Structure 1
């Protein structure tokens, strides 16, 4: 089929149509930057041709060189046959306007916290310039730490992860953004290796997939580090450690912001004494909670 395609397809539009057909035929799963076959086809075709990924119109009917067609078809075939997320094929992922290097040492960035950070955590942070210290727990590629450093211009950011491989990727991204003097990378199993210090804000997108869901993950997700996905039987093991320790690392009035996926009901049942404030994101208000230091202390944490 791919040999026939290389002889028959001529334009960008042709290649996108072909990719959508192959992706749907193969029942690919999306969720690593796009949520449907068409958007992913557009991204992979345009990226492979070194064209702007957000503007297809000027190029849709452009005829392509045989070598360009071969390059794109190779990417399409690899996506179908390996089921690797597109981000691992292009070595890039986007959070809004922020671009990050990624490979299979880190989970593909996709955090609702990034959306909240882009608004500088308004209205809970009234003067962004007064934020001077941020902790990003489970930093992975360093994406949230970098966004935090960009939106809070006077803040130093500590970015923590257990995986040395992930921290190697984070180091590359921190250097790409020229933030080496403001973002410190720390290898630690959650808080266990941190020096005593208090932060204005702690953010975390920890592992939160429960055991049943881990067992049912489609092939695309199995390319991601297992360490970054599962967190015990109910998906809350890491979150429990964060709740138990965060107050010691927050200034008075400091904020704890944690993403927990689809575990809201389980979390609220487990911690009825905590006044979780659920933050609105584009996909709803069930994915990210906020607590203050005082909320945690009043509940005995």
Structure 2
């Protein structure tokens, strides 16, 4: 359907939808009909529809069943219709529609100035990089390179309670969002935001841990991304022809910024094969995450030397 036809369709449907159950069915149908892409928090139409409806109605996000047969007011129906329609017609990721994204139990403010948080490093921080870090309380400094919304820096501050965290990003807009999230978690005294092109403005500072979820999408994949990704900052996605431009700079300079026993942890998407071919002499340790052992590598400072 053309956009005007789609708008007319939504306008005509609203009078027939009364309960949360009605709206959930309608949203799932429209999401599937519209061929939406789900990769910014939800993995399927049902989960995303339930999230958007519950969020819009200010209901608990983990309790759908008790409200399924509740009837909506006219104002509530208009609000729910609006968010469903924007998701379908404009292909805006749900996180931007609600200004909310989750990593585990943590929620973060997001808008189109930052990439929607999604990182396997969050899983590893939950376990304080065990067994690679034996004494989390002894970690005194962490660098989060390409921090975006500040989500990994905030998780690192919780994982390593005595560490000072530097959160670096090239984008002043992204750092404004990160500042809001840092303030929300009352971590202004421990998480320090730095506007820098990777290591350029860090001087000689060294860290016990460097983490990074840098841009890593190769040029061919960028050209084929679903429309949802076009709402995200371009700087946060593509990284040269093979997706490794940012990672190359990180590998080149990380040793200078790691303490004697420091470690580097970097997420590189689907680029393991390309990365290992480019650096055959680096002894990458590939860390297990929920999706496998292809996406996050670790190196000790001595490996980089």
Given the two structures, how large is their TM-score scaled by the length of structure 2? 0.96
1:236 aligns with 2:236: no
* Equivalent of 2:156 in 142, 148, 154: 148
**Shift of residue 66 of structure 1?**
1.6
Q: Which residue of 1 aligns with 2:197?
A: 189
Q: 1:57-87 deviations in whole A, cap 9, x for unaligned?
A: 1111211112111110110001111101000
Q: For residues 179 and 264 of structure 1, what CA distance do their matches in structure 2 show?
A: 34
- What is aligned with 1:73? 81
Matches of residues 2-41 of structure 1 in structure 2 within 5 Å? 2-41=10-49
Q: CA RMSD in A?
A: 0.7
For residues 7-30 of structure 1, give each alpha carbon's deviation from its aligned partner in whole angstroms, at most 9, with x where no partner exists: 111111111110000011110111
SS of the equivalent of 1:147 reads helix
Corresponding residue SS for 2:72: coil
1:252 alignment counterpart: 260
- Report the counterpart of residue 204 of structure 1 in structure 2: 212
Cα offset, 1:183, TM superposition: 0.4
| CA-to-aligned-CA distance 1:100-133 (integer Å, 9 cap, x gap) | 0000000000000001101111111111111110
* SS of residue in 2 equivalent to 1:200: strand
2:165 matched residue in structure 1:
157
What does residue range 269-280 of structure 1 map to in structure 2 within 5 Å? 269-280=277-288
For residues 167 and 3 of structure 1, what CA distance do their matches in structure 2 show? 39
Quote the residue 2:234 is aligned against. Answer: 226
**SS at the partner of 1:189?**
coil
- Misfit runs of 4+, over 4 Å: none
Match of 1:89 in 2: 97
Aligned to 1:282: 290
Q: Does 1:53 align with 2:50?
A: no
Q: How many angstroms apart in 2 are the aligned matches of 1:162 and 1:270?
A: 25
How far the C-alpha of 1:148 sits from its partner, in A, is 0.3
CA distance in 1: counterparts of 2:19 and 2:135, whole angstroms: 50
CA contact (8 A) 1:6 1:66 kept: no
* Ranges in structure 1 where 5+ consecutive residues have no aligned partner: none
CA distance in 2, matches of 1:12, 1:152: 42
Supply the distance in 1 between the matched residues of 2:98 and 2:299 (Cα, whole angstroms).
37
Q: Which residue of 2 aligns with 1:213?
A: 221
- Report the secondary structure of 1:125's partner residue: coil
Say which of 113, 122, 126 aligns to 1:105: 113
2:129 matched to 1:121? yes
> What is the deviation of 1:253?
1.4
1:4 Cα shift? 3.1
Distance in 2, Cα, partners of 1:58 & 1:118: 31
C-alpha separation in 1, matches of 2:258 and 2:66: 50
Counting matched residue pairs gives 297
Q: For residues 14 and 149 of structure 1, what CA distance do their matches in structure 2 show?
A: 43
